[in-house]
């Protein structure tokens, strides 16, 4: 029952915004739904599999670029070109995921971060991709269409996490997160499951990016690949709790709400400073996030980050013997 | 020929700056397995504080004044690093070394925005007439700021290496890195050692702010690029192996200088990030194969 309620909550948010909301309300709801989709999609790879994916914004950017450029150059309607975004992003996820997912802990985090920064540098330096000043789109999409598209994408994201969590796949992924060595020794094909989670996490992120670019009417790599987007997703995940489908949603709602209330009073910069202090506070004192406080089964980030490198693992085993 | 030698000198200077900056990161990783993702932001913070103090005392002074100022700033940052490790990082590092990543991630959000609040988002360049003197060598002109950079960075690196490899504290530090429990048994106060290492890492980041001041202009949001650059150098040289860091720092400096001189600056950073990615995939122990 709760699962169904959570699953359709993005649609409820969209409906409420549509019926009661002003222009501002609709924009706020769209933004909120986008962040729900992004936080949930990051949860698919970082929450269940335990890999800190510091380059998650690259899927967002790739999706945005693919959809935007297809519509701009080939004249495809926007709702069709949006569908090409997850296709491309999953191919990207497959290609880079296969070698990268072998890396552990910090190595994976830095590698994916470097890759996403590389894409950003490319987009800022290639003429075809906008080169530092961006490409205007001039494809009119109404705010309500964007709102409902985002609601659908958020539902896809929550749905993916729900299915993963309730099925064999989720249990396999948790086993990999908790101890990859043991997981592979009991017959779980670890690399296949990790790739699956990676591709699944790329789909909602790229869809959100694709719709975002039609909402914004502008393709600009500096914004689409901005590292601050990944930071925000992680913040939502930490705040809400990782490794379950409810946590990221709670995190995204709380975070967007607080952001909206605060930033107009204290300014963007001071807000981000407070955010940094806040994240340190969560890491030290509240490792299970809000969903942990509510009693939902959640993964402590402390526990999650125990995903050790093979060498450390060997040392651990050695010590315990 | 002239261009080649000029690129060589540029590359060496750049490489030494990078090595000095990356050594802090390398030490913190090698000894505590801490991934300091705010390292580049700390460099920029150091640069900004030095710049700000220099103009606060009148904006004119000799190079020695500048050096004294930057030593003060770096020591201040070092003290902050000691406190940060002692009060915050040590609380979580015992349970999971990687958790510290998220702490520094918070720091990475705080520092650039704090700098924008305090000093504005504009690019800064230190202007000092004495620095633009040039010395004629056989084929090239060596400007004074390059010469000072070379002297300062080489001296600092030598002092640091002596400290790590020849003093009693250095032995304790390396012992902690090799075997934590063993070090505790031998009476090493590892909480103190950890804090000391992060203090030195912060000190080095702040001190390379002086070299940034001498050679480049800088903006508050540039930290990410320096963070990734120093990461590349540490990874390429082998994580937790300081001599490798120096070698790969020089290598990357030379590479960047040659690419900029002969191929143009457009894709330098994209290329550098690609190397970082590929190194992590193909040679995670570093080019010398001595890392962890």
B48-67 pLDDT tens trace: 999 999 988 877 778 888 89
Structure tokens at A65: 């670029």
Q: State residue A292's pLDDT score.
A: 61
Confidence class of residue A267 from pLDDT cuts 50, 70 and 90? confident
Say whether B117 and A306 touch across the interface (CB within 8 A): no
Decide if A276 touches B, using CB distance below 8 A: yes
Q: Does residue B1 or residue B119 have the better pLDDT?
A: B119
Please give the residue of chain B at the shortest CA–CA distance from A281: B103
- The tally of domains found in chain A comes to 1
Q: State residue A293's pLDDT score.
A: 58
Q: State residue B89's pLDDT score.
A: 87
Q: State residue A310's pLDDT score.
A: 38
Share of chain B above pLDDT 70, in %: 97
Say whether A114 and B232 touch across the interface (CB within 8 A): yes
User: Could you read off the pLDDT of A15-28 as tens digits, one per residue?
Assistant: 999 888 788 889 99
Q: State residue A296's pLDDT score.
A: 58
Tell me the pLDDT of chain A averaged across its residues: 85
- Give the count of beta carbons closer than 10 Å to the beta carbon of residue A163: 13
Rounded CA separation B158/A269 (Å)? 39
Q: State residue A302's pLDDT score.
A: 44
Provide the β-strand partners of residue B134.
B143
- Positive or negative torsion for Cα A312, B31, B240, A106: positive
Please give the residue of chain B at the shortest CA–CA distance from A307: B98
For range B211-225, the mean pLDDT = 88
Confidence class of residue B35 from pLDDT cuts 50, 70 and 90? confident
Tell me which residue range forms the domain holding A81: 2-226
For range A223-245, the mean pLDDT = 86
- The tally of domains found in chain B comes to 1
For range B28-55, the mean pLDDT = 90
Measured between CA atoms, how close is A107 to chain B, in angstroms?
7
Worst-scoring range by mean pLDDT, A85-99, B96-110, B231-245?
B96-110
The answer to whether the beta carbons of residues B79 and B212 sit under 8 Å apart is no
Confidence class of residue A198 from pLDDT cuts 50, 70 and 90? very high
Based on its alpha-carbon atoms, the radius of gyration of chain B, rounded to whole angstroms, reads: 19
How many CB pairs lie under 8 A apart between chains A and B? Answer: 121
Structure tokens at B134: 């040039």
Q: Is A262 part of any domain?
A: no
B169 HSE (CA, 13 A, CB side): 12
Measured between CA atoms, how close is A285 to chain B, in angstroms?
10
User: Given a cut of 70, is residue B179 above it in pLDDT?
Assistant: yes
User: Could you read off the pLDDT of B131-178 as tens digits, one per residue?
Assistant: 777 777 777 778 888 888 989 999 999 999 999 999 999 999 989 888
Measured between CA atoms, how close is B149 to chain A, in angstroms?
28
Of A103, A110, A276, the CB nearest to B106: A276
Q: State residue A319's pLDDT score.
A: 40
What residues of chain B lie within 8 A of the CB of A117, using their CB?
224, 228, 269, 273
Confidence class of residue A137 from pLDDT cuts 50, 70 and 90? confident
Nearest partner of A54 among A204, A235, A199, judged by Cα: A235
Which of A71-85, B56-70, B130-144, B226-240 has the highest average model confidence (pLDDT)?
A71-85
Of B96, B98, B228, the CB nearest to A114: B228
Rounded to two decimals, what is the model's pTM?
A: 0.85
Greatest C-alpha distance within chain A: 66
Decide if B235 touches A, using CB distance below 8 A: yes
Q: Is B289 part of any domain?
A: no
What residues of chain A lie within 8 A of the CB of B280, using their CB?
103, 107, 110-111, 114
Q: State residue A291's pLDDT score.
A: 61
Please give the residue of chain B at the shortest CA–CA distance from A300: B99
Q: State residue B292's pLDDT score.
A: 61
Structure tokens at B265: 């600056």
Per-residue CA distances from A121 to A2, A272, B39, B186 (Å): 43, 24, 20, 49
Q: Is B291 part of any domain?
A: no
Of B109, B117, B280, the CB nearest to A110: B280
Worst-scoring range by mean pLDDT, A298-302, B210-214, B271-275?
A298-302
Confidence class of residue A304 from pLDDT cuts 50, 70 and 90? very low
Measured between CA atoms, how close is A14 to chain B, in angstroms?
31
Say whether A276 and B101 touch across the interface (CB within 8 A): no
Q: State residue A316's pLDDT score.
A: 43
Tell me the pLDDT of chain B averaged across its residues: 87
Confidence class of residue A317 from pLDDT cuts 50, 70 and 90? very low
Of B35, B92, B117, the CB nearest to A269: B117
Rounded CA separation B224/A170 (Å)? 34
Say whether B228 and A307 touch across the interface (CB within 8 A): no
Share of chain B above pLDDT 90, in %: 39
Say whether B281 and A301 touch across the interface (CB within 8 A): no
User: Given a cut of 50, is residue A303 above it in pLDDT?
Assistant: no
Q: State residue B98's pLDDT score.
A: 63
Say whether B276 and A111 touch across the interface (CB within 8 A): yes
Tell me which residue range forms the domain holding B253: 2-282
User: Given a cut of 60, is residue B216 above it in pLDDT?
Assistant: yes
Instruction: Read off the CATH number of the domain in which B173 is found.
Output: 1.10.3470
The answer to whether the beta carbons of residues A90 and A202 sit under 8 Å apart is yes
Q: Does residue A234 or residue B49 have the better pLDDT?
A: B49
User: Given a cut of 70, is residue B95 above it in pLDDT?
Assistant: no
For range A237-249, the mean pLDDT = 85
Chain A contact probe: residue of B98, B116, B233, B240 with most A CBs at under 10 A: B98
Of A115, A284, A311, the CB nearest to B91: A284
Rounded CA separation A32/A13 (Å)? 9
Of B33, B102, B273, the CB nearest to A279: B102
Confidence class of residue B16 from pLDDT cuts 50, 70 and 90? very high
What residues of chain B lie within 8 A of the CB of A273, using their CB?
109-110, 113-114, 117
Q: Is A311 part of any domain?
A: no
User: Given a cut of 90, is residue A69 above it in pLDDT?
Assistant: yes
Say whether B281 and A307 touch across the interface (CB within 8 A): no
Q: Is A256 part of any domain?
A: no
Please give the residue of chain B at the shortest CA–CA distance from A269: B113
Q: Is A187 part of any domain?
A: yes
Rounded-to-5 percentages of helix, strand, coil across chain A:
80, 0, 20
Measured between CA atoms, how close is B92 to chain A, in angstroms?
7
Say whether A279 and B284 touch across the interface (CB within 8 A): no
Q: Is B50 part of any domain?
A: yes
Which residues 103-122 of B are in CB contact (within 8 Å) with A?
103, 105-110, 113-114, 116-117
The answer to whether the beta carbons of residues A101 and A195 sit under 8 Å apart is yes
Q: State residue B1's pLDDT score.
A: 74
Say whether A109 and B101 touch across the interface (CB within 8 A): yes
Confidence class of residue A320 from pLDDT cuts 50, 70 and 90? very low
């Amino acid at each position: 029952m709760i699962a169904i309620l959570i699953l359709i909550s993005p649609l409820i948010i969209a409906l409420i915004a549509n019926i009661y909301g002003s222009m501002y309300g609709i924009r706020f709801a769209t933004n909120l739904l986008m962040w729900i989709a992004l936080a949930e999609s990051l949860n698919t790879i970082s929450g269940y599999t335990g890999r800190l994916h510091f380059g998650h914004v690259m899927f967002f950017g790739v999706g945005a670029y693919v959809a935007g450029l297809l519509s701009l150059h080939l004249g495809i309607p926007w709702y069709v070109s949006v569908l090409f975004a997850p296709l491309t992003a999953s191919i990207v996820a497959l290609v880079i995921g296969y070698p990268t997912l072998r890396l552990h802990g910090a190595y994976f985090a830095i590698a994916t971060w470097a890759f996403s920064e590389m894409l950003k540098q490319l987009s800022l330096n290639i003429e075809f991709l906008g080169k530092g000043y961006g490409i205007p789109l001039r494809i009119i999409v109404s705010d309500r269409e964007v709102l409902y598209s985002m609601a659908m994408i958020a539902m896809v994201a929550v749905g993916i996490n729900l299915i993963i969590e309730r099925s064999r796949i989720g249990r396999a992924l948790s086993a990999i997160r908790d101890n990859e060595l043991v997981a592979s020794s009991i017959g779980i094909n670890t690399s296949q499951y990790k790739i699956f989670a990676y591709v699944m996490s790329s789909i909602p992120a790229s869809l959100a990016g694709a719709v975002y670019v039609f909402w914004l009417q502008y393709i600009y790599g500096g914004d689409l690949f901005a590292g601050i987007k990944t930071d925000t997703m992680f913040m939502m995940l930490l705040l809400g709790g990782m490794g379950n489908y409810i946590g990221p949603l709670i995190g995204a709602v709380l975070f967007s709400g607080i952001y909206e209330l605060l930033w107009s009073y204290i300014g963007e910069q001071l807000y981000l400073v407070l955010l940094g202090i806040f994240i340190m506070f969560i890491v030290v004192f509240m490792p299970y996030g809000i969903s942990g406080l509510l009693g939902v089964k959640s993964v402590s980030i402390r526990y999650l980050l125990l995903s050790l490198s093979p060498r450390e693992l060997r040392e651990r085993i050695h010590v315990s013997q | 020929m002239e261009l080649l030698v000029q690129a060589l000198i540029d590359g060496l200077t750049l490489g030494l700056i990078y090595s000095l900056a990356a050594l802090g990161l390398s030490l913190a990783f090698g000894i505590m397995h801490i991934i300091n993702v705010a390292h580049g932001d700390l460099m920029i913070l150091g640069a900004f504080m030095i710049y700000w103090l220099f103009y606060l005392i009148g904006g004119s002074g000799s190079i020695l004044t500048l050096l004294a100022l930057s030593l003060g700033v770096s020591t201040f940052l070092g003290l902050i690093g000691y406190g940060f490790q002692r009060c915050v990082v040590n609380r979580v590092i015992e349970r999971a070394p990687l958790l510290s990543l998220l702490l520094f991630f918070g720091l990475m959000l705080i520092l650039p925005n704090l700098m924008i609040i305090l000093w504005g988002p504009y690019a800064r360049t230190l202007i000092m007439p004495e620095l633009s003197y040039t010395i004629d060598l056989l084929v090239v002109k060596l400007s004074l700021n390059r010469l000072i950079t070379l002297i300062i960075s080489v001296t600092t690196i030598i002092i640091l290496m002596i400290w790590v490899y020849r003093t009693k504290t250095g032995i304790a530090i390396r012992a902690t890195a090799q075997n934590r429990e063993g070090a505790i048994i031998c009476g090493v106060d590892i909480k103190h050692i950890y804090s000391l290492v992060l203090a030195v890492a912060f000190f080095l980041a702040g001190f390379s702010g002086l070299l940034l001041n001498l050679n480049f202009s800088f903006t508050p949001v540039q930290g990410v690029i320096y963070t990734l650059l120093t990461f590349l150098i540490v990874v390429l040289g082998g994580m937790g192996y300081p001599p490798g860091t120096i070698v790969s720092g020089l290598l990357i400096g030379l590479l960047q200088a040659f690419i900029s001189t002969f191929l143009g600056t457009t894709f330098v950073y994209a290329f550098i990030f690609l190397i970082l990615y590929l190194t992590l995939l193909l040679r995670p122990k570093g080019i010398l194969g001595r890392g962890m």
